[in-house]
Amino acid sequence: MNQITGKYNIYKYIPIPYEHHPTIFDIDYLKLKKLGFNTILFDYDFTLAPWKQQIDDKTLNLFNKLYELGFKVAVVSNGPEKRIKNVEEKTKGKVKIYWRMRKPFSRKLKKVLEDLRSDPGSTVLIGDLFFTDMLVGNKNGFYTILVNPYTYEIDSMYKKIAAVISKIMYFLFFYTFGWLFRVMDLAVPNEFVENVFDIDYKKLKKNNYKLIIFDFDNTLTTWRSEELPKEIIELFEILSKDFKILIASNGKEYRFNNIKKTLKKYNIEVMGYSLKPFPYKIKRKIKEYGIEPTHVALIGDQLYTDIIAGNKSGFYTIKVNPISNKERIFTKILRFFEKISIKTMREKPKF
């Protein structure tokens, strides 16, 4: 799983994570498994437990869940062996431990992968520090996930202050130098394909995807059209047997009156004013279906509207080429930035 797609691999030297979650318990590990990852490396202090404290039963249960999913799990800490020894003891050796790792330097981390018989493209690194964990993970081609420093159930004010300082440093970085790279990263799809007919829908079904969201203009038909081509309707007829389908457009609602009537017999909904790239309206609509984001795929032609909305919602995202060059001026401006992004972006995992 090669995670570098752009010509210039700038993310190798920038500590921007692929994902950011409040805690290790908020990560969608099932999605990671579906995307082909088989190894998870955890930092220890402030990631799995408060500084110099042992893991609790909740973390132990998480390890058991990961083991049942088939993951190889290890702890990679800059601290001494005695601090993380409890992990090995409590998991009866299922979770391997590695200490004095000297992150963000890579030499020892490469030996960890050799010991686990894993490769960088199938490895996830989870930690709380962006200038050690995230930087070394990106340098080695791992899928990096940042979590907020472990602050709950800490009885020491000193430890709480240390955790809060770490969190503040990240947000200062994110909202100054790092915000541009984060926005660019949010615009990276899981897949690039030529058009909606080139998508492997059988693979989506095999991976238990239940809902497919399509953009409208320049994804299914030309810009400002109020009709769907015959071949698209035929595609929907086939797909509706295996998936729920939603068309989510930023266009005005009245444009879709006739289309809604055509698609009604396939139980396909059409939603205008979707407000992409903001995910709120789409996420609210998804709740009506009762389908988890892990089982949703979004397909669109624009990185900075469709793909960002899908990524922020936790969907599997697929970018298609626009059907025509006819589009609004603002979109043409975004296309210019898309070309720059594609030269520098890092590839996201795909099936």
Per-residue pLDDT at 115: 96
Q: Indicate the fold that domain 10-186 takes in CATH.
A: Rossmann fold (3.40.50)
Domain boundaries, given as residue ranges, for the chain: 10-186, 191-344
Q: Give all strands (DSSP E) within 160-268, no chain letters.
A: 191-193, 211-214, 244-248
- Residues 30-33: contacts with CB within 8 Å, 24+ apart? 30/69, 30/294, 31/294, 31/314, 32/124, 32/143, 33/69, 33/70, 33/71
Cα dist from 301 to 7, 138, 211, 309, 318, whole Å:
21, 28, 18, 12, 8
Q: What span, in angstroms and rounded, lies between the C-alpha atoms of 107 and 101?
A: 9
Longest dimension (CA), the chain: 69
Residue 66: HSE in the Cβ half-sphere, 13 Å Cα cutoff = 26
Question: Can you list the residues of the chain whose pLDDT is less than 50?
Answer: 1-5, 7
- Tokens 């020491």 appear where? 156
Closest alpha carbon to 321 in 338, 342, 300: 300
How many Å from the N-terminal Cα to the C-terminal Cα in the chain?
A: 9
Assign residue 261 a region: left if phi > 0, alpha if psi is -120 to 50, beta otherwise?
Answer: alpha
Upstream peptide bond of 104 is cis (omega within 30 degrees of 0): yes
Structure tokens at 70: 């088939």
pLDDT tens-digit series, residues 161-193: 766 776 677 677 767 766 777 777 888 999 999
Tell me the pTM: 0.80
Model pLDDT for residues 13-42, shown as the tens digit of each residue: 778 888 889 899 999 999 999 899 999 999
Please name which of 190, 137, 188, 189 lies closest in space to residue 344, comparing C-alpha atoms: 188
Q: 191-344 has which fold? A: Rossmann fold (3.40.50)
Strands (E), 31-102: 39-42, 72-76, 96-98
User: Can you give the pLDDT at residue 178?
Assistant: 67
Same fold for the pair 10-186 and 191-344: yes
> Which residues, other chains included, contact 62 with Cβ-Cβ below 8 Å and sequence gap of 6+?
24, 25
- Residue 1: what pLDDT? 40
Pull the structure tokens for residue 67.
């083991």
Q: What is the pLDDT of residue 176?
A: 73
